[in-house]
Homo-oligomer: A and B are copies of this chain.
């Protein structure tokens, strides 16, 4: 395999590893655990799963991979802090959304070529991208992978 393909495959493997760990945690959270706050006065696990699902879902338009699947999560889990809104979907549907969003993202990631990974993401203008070529699709993948890790580290505190 060519160097650039191996580098991309390594980055996608990292995404899969981190998301795979959260998959196992999400599947294993009981209804009681999912309502727990990760620390006193902090976000519930349910909020964190909703937040990660919604933020990852936004990668479809941001990486020009197609339409979003679950915009109904944004109001409760991105725009507002925890418990400011009613949960928009059941725990069961939230878990399903988590799996659906990430498995479809992974499938889309695996179709991109190295050249496409080096193209700009939609959150940076063409003008800015000309000056900052590292604000590419790969940068967003790595950033979102780290975002999952950050909140996953919090969610495990409720176990």
Interface residues of A (CB under 8 A from B): 1, 3-4, 6-11, 13-14, 17-18, 38-40, 42, 114-115, 117-118, 133-134, 136, 138-139, 142-143, 145-147, 149-154, 157
Task: Give chain B residues whose Cβ lies under 8 Å from the Cβ of A4.
Answer: 3-4, 7, 114
Across the interface, A134 reaches (CB within 8 A) one of B6, B39, B133, namely: B6
Task: Give chain B residues whose Cβ lies under 8 Å from the Cβ of A3.
Answer: 4, 114-115, 118
| Copy count, this protein chain | 2
User: Are A143 and B14 in contact (CB-based, < 8 A)?
Assistant: yes
- Asked whether A134 and B38 contact (CB < 8 A) given A4-B4, A18-B146, A149-B147, the answer is no
In Å, the complex CA distance between A45 and B19 comes to 25
Task: Give chain B residues whose Cβ lies under 8 Å from the Cβ of A117.
Answer: 7
In Å, the complex CA distance between A17 and B142 comes to 11
Task: Give chain B residues whose Cβ lies under 8 Å from the Cβ of A149.
Answer: 146-147, 149-150, 153
